[in-house]
Amino acid sequence: MAPLPSSKWAAAVPERDGQRLARLAREAIAEALGGPVCDRTGAPGFEGPGASFVTLSLDGKLRGCMGGLEPSASLVEDIIDHALAAAFQDPRFAPLGREELPRLAVEVSLLSPLQALAGADEGDLLRCLRPGVDGLVLELDGQRAVFLPQVWTELPEPRAFLAALKRKAGWPAAFWSPQVRAWTFTVEAWRDEPPPQLRGPEAASFLHPARHWQRLEDGRIRCLVCPHRCALREGQRGRCVVRQRIGDRMVLAAYGQTSGFCVDPIEKKPLHHFLPGSSVLSFGTVGCNLACRFCQNWSLSRARDLGLLRDRATPEDIAERARRQGCRSVAFTYNEPATFLEFVSDVAEACHAEGIATVAVTAGYLEDGARRDFFTHLDAANVDLKAFSDDFYRHVVGGTLEPVLDTLRYLVHETAVWTEITTLLVPGLNDSDDELRRLCTWIATDLGAEVPLHFSAFHPAHRMLDLPPTPPATLHRARTLALEAGLKYVYTGNVRDLEGGTTRCPGCGRALIQRDGFHLLALSLGAGGRCLHCGTALPGHFGDRAFSTVSQGPGKVP
């Protein structure tokens, strides 16, 4: 088996293009079951050769998997062939039935060139395997077995992974021979999930009239919440999952349901200049209008099953829960809250009636009308500025940069919403000195030097398990560059860094707020956020109380 030739598709692939290939696989299966003829044009850049696997699952269980290690003449035809083989020719399963298609999840994996492990014994192989990253091929006397990297989710320990692959090849788990040949590879993978199903007889009660949409001349309805501008036919959902066309209108699915609640310190959002030391009631739903490959909350943001929304709550219930828990604010977080903006506005109204503030952790990827609607109901926001590169947004996030910059300009210059920014530094992708300087200079000149900026450490997650965590030195370097660019309040996150968590007086330079992670160690502020030493006002929202508190350890300052 010769190594696969290098090809462009083995590199990072835009999320939207990969999703088109996954939908292509589904449409090919649907056509074979009597549905409409699928569009075989695929996605730009995929006309050439490529190797793929197509994996089918039904209700979370494997329903078929077929593929090849060597590239065919056309990647699009390769995917279609393997989709049909997985559906109808996998010898482990009966042919797929039409009734199963609505519940079928389809995953397409694009393979990188194989890397031969020449002369490796079993110990060498175990040492070089990267859990969660490497696929593995074993071959002996014409008998071959393959595991995709996705198998690591079920077999996370290398020895168990290798033993299971040997059994798949028909060998004993303890077997090894010097003649065994081994190759590793990586994949780019995309899933096309079945349409989400609301569960239970009360499902219809969670379909809430949505705002920000228009009818198109061809009969479709276009969503106007975010720049994707999804055009939907009957029953279809947008990329965010929770906005759906029902009949001749757009609805917000599962209004009044959440994925759970948690009481957090406000510093966890992170917001360092908004009611420091207070508690916030955090909750979210499912779905997102972006597709960050490094998402820490991917089980919610990429979820397609609205059955994950287990907690029912009216806006009044949420406000009352926050009051009982002693929370001074409610946070819309965990997934993109702008996608459920109708629920956000109603919850905010109920909270404000109880004297409780509202905050959002958002990517800010919005159209202008929805942007103005969404932020009208908020008191504070932390906006994820994921990079200062449109290429990063397109290939890693599944969006574009300019709408996020427009959101930040709008917040700072046209609203009273207290705004802070977070940038997660992904090693080698958005942490160069040049990009960091451009990002910080833009904030200083377009927004103002007093807008707080948080640099946060990346940890391997979701589809970026092969990258290392962000070194603390990178965060310190980024903070130094930001301060040199003139920003006054620059913080580090996801690491222990006392100076990077300290807020200093802009007048005399004294430490006014000291933090250890999410915990306050000291808080020394006069009413309205004024320095107790020189009287200079700190920008932000601090209430009308004076604080002079030193904590003996981690914990909230009252």
CATH code of residue 100: 3.30.700.20
| Residue 244 belongs to domain spanning | 195-380
Residue 372 CA from chain centroid, whole number = 24
For residue 372, which amino acid is it? Answer: R
229 and 175 belong to one structural domain? no
The rounded mean pLDDT for the chain is 86
Which tokens hold the place of 397? 């996030």
Residue 210 CA from chain centroid, whole number = 23
Q: Is 492 in contact with 500 (CB distance < 8 Å)?
A: yes
Domain membership flag for residue 340: yes
- Per-residue confidence at 14, pLDDT binned at 50, 70, 90? low
Domain membership flag for residue 425: no
Domain membership flag for residue 280: yes
363 and 243 belong to one structural domain? yes
C-alpha 394/C-alpha 291 separation (Å) is 10
Buried b (16+ CB within 10 A) or exposed e, 217-233: eeeebbbbbbebebbbe
Q: What is the mean pLDDT of residues 527-550?
A: 80
266 and 135 belong to one structural domain? no
Judged against a pLDDT cut of 80, whether residue 510 lies above it is answered with yes
340 to 3, 32, 335, 369, 472: CA distances (angstroms)? 48, 36, 10, 15, 35
Domain limit, last residue, from 192, 217, 235: 192
Domain limit, last residue, from 363, 380, 397: 380
Domain membership flag for residue 522: no
In the three-class reduction of DSSP (H, G, I as helix; E, B as strand; rest coil), residue 378 is classed as coil
180 and 300 belong to one structural domain? no
For residue 523, which amino acid is it? Answer: L
546 CB neighbour count, 10 Å cutoff: 14
173 and 200 belong to one structural domain? no
Domains: count for the chain? 2
pLDDT of residue 94: 93
C-alpha 372/C-alpha 362 separation (Å) is 14
Q: Is 410 in contact with 372 (CB distance < 8 Å)?
A: yes
pLDDT digits (tens, 9 = 90+) for 254-287: 788 888 899 999 999 999 999 998 999 999 988 8
162 and 207 belong to one structural domain? no
175 to 53, 158, 179, 180: CA distances (angstroms)? 27, 15, 12, 10
Domain membership flag for residue 211: yes
Q: What is the mean pLDDT of residues 502-527?
A: 89
133 and 201 belong to one structural domain? no
84 to 24, 25, 34, 65, 284: CA distances (angstroms)? 11, 8, 13, 10, 38
More confident residue, 544 or 205: 544
- Which DSSP symbol is given to 4? P
202 and 187 belong to one structural domain? no
- Per-residue confidence at 351, pLDDT binned at 50, 70, 90? very high
132 CB neighbour count, 10 Å cutoff: 15
pLDDT of residue 258: 87
Domain membership flag for residue 206: yes
Classify residue 80 as left (phi > 0), alpha (psi -120 to 50) or beta.
alpha
Domain membership flag for residue 558: no
Judged against a pLDDT cut of 80, whether residue 547 lies above it is answered with no
Judged against a pLDDT cut of 80, whether residue 19 lies above it is answered with no
266 and 350 belong to one structural domain? yes
- Per-residue confidence at 488, pLDDT binned at 50, 70, 90? very high
pLDDT of residue 546: 53
Give the predicted TM-score (pTM) of the model. Answer: 0.70
pLDDT digits (tens, 9 = 90+) for 95-142: 999 888 888 889 999 888 888 887 668 888 888 888 888 899 999 988
Domain membership flag for residue 434: no
pLDDT of residue 46: 62
pLDDT of residue 39: 73
Judged against a pLDDT cut of 50, whether residue 357 lies above it is answered with yes
Judged against a pLDDT cut of 60, whether residue 203 lies above it is answered with no
In the three-class reduction of DSSP (H, G, I as helix; E, B as strand; rest coil), residue 465 is classed as coil
pLDDT of residue 307: 62
pLDDT of residue 91: 92
Sign of the CA dihedral 406, 408, 412, 416? positive
pLDDT of residue 7: 38
Judged against a pLDDT cut of 50, whether residue 447 lies above it is answered with yes
Lowest mean pLDDT segment, chosen from 47-51, 472-476, 545-549: 545-549
C-alpha 127/C-alpha 159 separation (Å) is 10
pLDDT digits (tens, 9 = 90+) for 375-417: 999 999 999 999 999 999 988 998 999 999 999 999 999 999 9
In the three-class reduction of DSSP (H, G, I as helix; E, B as strand; rest coil), residue 506 is classed as coil
Which tokens hold the place of 113? 């060139």
78 and 202 belong to one structural domain? no
232 and 255 belong to one structural domain? yes
pLDDT of residue 12: 46
- Which DSSP symbol is given to 396? I
For residue 107, which amino acid is it? Answer: E
Q: Is 230 in contact with 250 (CB distance < 8 Å)?
A: no
Strand 453-457 to strand 418-425: parallel, antiparallel, or no bridges (unpaired)?
Answer: parallel
More confident residue, 11 or 215: 215
401 to 95, 291, 305, 397, 398: CA distances (angstroms)? 45, 14, 29, 10, 10
290 and 172 belong to one structural domain? no
C-alpha 63/C-alpha 291 separation (Å) is 25
> Which runs of E-coded beta strand occur in 37-92?
52-58, 61-67
Domain limit, last residue, from 165, 192, 219: 192
